[in-house]
Amino acid sequence: MAKRAVAGQVKTRLIGRLTPDQAALTHQALLDCTLDRLAAWADSRNSTTLLVFASTGAQVQDLQSNRPHAPGLWREVGQGGGDLGARIERVWRQVGSGPAVFFGVVSPDVPLSALDAAVTLLAEADAVVGPTDDGGYWCLAARRIEPDLLARIDWGTNRVYDQTRAAAEAAGIRLADAPAWTDVDESGDLDRLMDR
């Protein structure tokens, strides 16, 4: 899931070290990298659709024209309002209640083998999360809509992963962990990404 790269509205925790315009350019670079990598991954798995949640059809048209190796993968689906959990659930219901992998733009260099592992783990688990070192996760995969994994989560905090695990346990959802990775939220995260 992605936001449009609007200065002052994205990568705000990098503002100070970066100007709002530079933070927006950083967000756009993360988005472009993520989309290119996921398009290649989806193509290699014969996946039917990659979803990009944008606010304008023009952005999706740009994605199509700039990525000719991935025709037909991009679809615009509005996120609507509410917290991240509400938006994920709303999008999931719009596109069908079956298996899905939700992936943001904050982990642009996660090894594709880790994404393969997340999908493979769904053979045994109801849902899979890929933990990050800041207490969140880089992906959520599930066989079907699992609203219990999305409600009452303090999104954007270091409690997301633990709260998701507790919610899964309370709801009887078999939750597995994909390989851990890192994400890009803070200035130090950006330094580590550039080093990699």
Please give the C-alpha separations between residue 79 and each of 34, 76, 163, in angstroms, as whole numbers.
Answer: 19, 9, 23
Query: What is d(CA 124, CA 127) in angstroms, rounded to the nearest whole number?
Result: 9
Q: 10 Å Cβ neighbour count for 37?
A: 17
Between 55 and 104, name the one with better pLDDT.
104
pLDDT confidence of residue 61: 56
Around 21, how many Cα atoms within 13 Å sit in the side-chain half-sphere? 0
Between 159 and 53, the more confident residue is: 159
Joined tokens for residue 159 = 């409690």
Q: Pick the residue with more confidence: 62 or 113?
A: 113
Say what percent of the chain tops pLDDT 70: 85
53 vs 164, residue with greater confidence: 164
